[in-house]
Structure 1
Amino acid sequence: MSDLHYADPRLVPLYDLLNAGDEDHRFYEARIGAAPLKIVDLGCGTGVFAVRLARQGHAVTGVDPAPAMLDVARARPGGDLPTWVLGDAEAFRGRFDVAVMTGHAFQCLLTDAAMLQTFDQVRARLDRGGRFMFETRNPKARAWDGWTPEASSQVLDLGGGNQVRLSHEVLALDGEQVRFQTRHRFMPAGDEVVSRSTLRFAPRAMIEQGLRAAGFGRVDWFGDWEGGALSAGSSEMIAVATAE
């Protein structure tokens, strides 16, 4: 997998524009609560949610494997509040009350081994009753059917008269994995950058099996950011797993 979003400095600023909504943040905040907790944000990206939680009084550690993302996180207002760690689920230390993985980062765990290792690492750092919250796109909703150049085309305003037009195109379907490319055309310069990515659309049963094997007990599932029940037609599969 080659995803320049995490390395090319021209694309890193687009991350926040593409993830400008906060409905997922509000969903997780409601379940975290107001009492100060120790929280680890895995795959924290540019640190928007980690800083938001830290401003609310939580002790937050943000973990991400991309140095360019953490550079943005440190530089943003409030970026001095969380602790930032470069790496994956093996890189962070300490004990936590809550672990979160937002922005569909869970779908970057492409193999059973990677998923199970992450579950094991998170569980090892949660006390009993601690919670692991994350979301993945529901494979039954087949989001990739809309990843065509025509259907996915959009224009983002970069300010100063600059824009970028981007679109997705599926390159291959391989079981639960979808390989696709994203084309970025910067305007008015006309420069084009193409990044290739792979995401896994794991089924609910497999995720539950892995969570239980890692030592999680109850798993509450939701199908949308309003807290609705998960159904076959839900676009999201949102999990809140409790450590035994």
Structure 2
Amino acid sequence: MLSDAGAAELYDLLNPWDAGLYPADAFYDGLVMTAGAVLDVGCGTGGMLHHARERGHPGRLVGMDPDRAALARARRRTDIEWVEGVAAEAAWDREFDLVTMVSHAFQCLVGDDELRASLTAIRAALRDGGLFAFETRHPRARAWEDWNPANASEVVDASGRTLRIAHRVESVRGDVVTFTTTTSGPDGAVLRVDRSTLRFLDVPALRTFLAEAGLAVEAQYGDWRRGPVTGDSREIVTLARRA
């Protein structure tokens, strides 16, 4: 079996933070490096904040996540604050210039009540005029249609094993998609099965939830080069300010 700690290590192998390779990482790096105090909600193993500190970010960096194993890896750096919890539990009051939710973490906010409570807490954590930056997959792109075993990926772990990671969609109900991620060993034996549920909100719905929370949309992009959102966009990248 693959432990929670092993899964967190595997996540870093599959998703290294690299602004030179990934336009999304470069986009967020630009925002983080110009902000005095940053809160990353759903920080996972902390790759973005680790990179910012390594690049010389001099201000306050805080990462928040409910996954203890991921936070254990994040805490390899002790010059960053790490907090266990979910967005709705954030209790900061006007302490950050920038709040981020990267790597589609925003889509983990599934229910309306959870989403509203999370946005209220995020707004409270921002200073006046502070920026909330996040991205969601554009529902029109129907990304989940590619989440099937035929598109499985492979990665070599720290012990030299070649692991296979495959997704399978269980259900699509309205704008909510539930799927499993199966990790298998070199012999095909199943090591771990994780179930995830994500919400795919469109532009009008995102704007409505943000406005209700007192967050004014400053810009929305359909790609990481700040192009417009179109029917062909795969992403909805949103920048919203505390009103």
Query: Same-fold call, TM > 0.5?
Result: yes
Find the aligned partners of 1:210 and 1:106 in 2 and give their Cα distance: 12
Q: Which consecutive segments of 4 or more residues in structure 1 shift more than 6 A?
A: none
Q: Which residue of 2 aligns with 1:100?
A: 100
CA RMSD of aligned residues (A): 2.0
Structure-2 residue corresponding to 1:82? 80
Mapped to 2, the partners of 1:72 and 1:189 lie a distance apart of 27
Partner of 1:114: 114
The aligned residue for residue 170 of structure 2 is: 171
Question: Which residue identity is paired with 2:131?
Answer: R
SS in 2 for 1:9: helix
Gapped regions of structure 2 (runs ≥ 5): none
Whether 1:9 aligns to 2:5 is yes
Which sections of structure 1, spanning at least 5 residues, go unmatched?
A: none
Does structure 2 conserve the Cα–Cα contact (< 8 Å) formed by 1:85 and 1:91?
no
* Residue type of the alignment partner of 2:13: L
2: CA distance between counterparts of 1:188 and 1:235?
35
Q: What's the offset of the Cα at 1:162? A: 0.8
Say if 1:51 and 1:81, in contact at 8 Å, map to a contact too: no
- Rounded to whole Å, the distance in 1 between the matches of 2:143 and 2:188 is 31
CA contact 1:164–1:187 (8 Å) conserved in 2: yes
Cα distance, 1:125 vs. partner? 1.5
Deviation at 1:104, TM superposition (A): 0.6
Identity %: 34
Structure 2 Cα separation of the partners of residues 159 and 68 of structure 1:
17
Shift of 1:190: 3.5
- Quote how far apart the aligned CAs of 1:32 are: 4.0
- TM-score, normalising length from structure 1? 0.89
Alignment of 1:1-244 (within 5 A): 8-22=4-18, 23-34=23-34, 37-55=36-54, 56-75=57-76, 79-89=77-87, 90-94=89-93, 95-150=95-150, 152-187=151-186, 190-244=189-243
Rounded Cα–Cα distance in structure 1 between residues aligned with 2:195 and 2:181:
6
Deviations 1:45-100 (A, max 9, x none): 0011112223322310100011111101112xxx1111010101223425111000
d(CA) in 2 for partners of 1:85, 1:161: 32
- TM-superposed deviation, 1:188: 5.1
- Give deviations 1:18-43, integer Å, cap 9, x for gaps: 22253322102223443x51110000
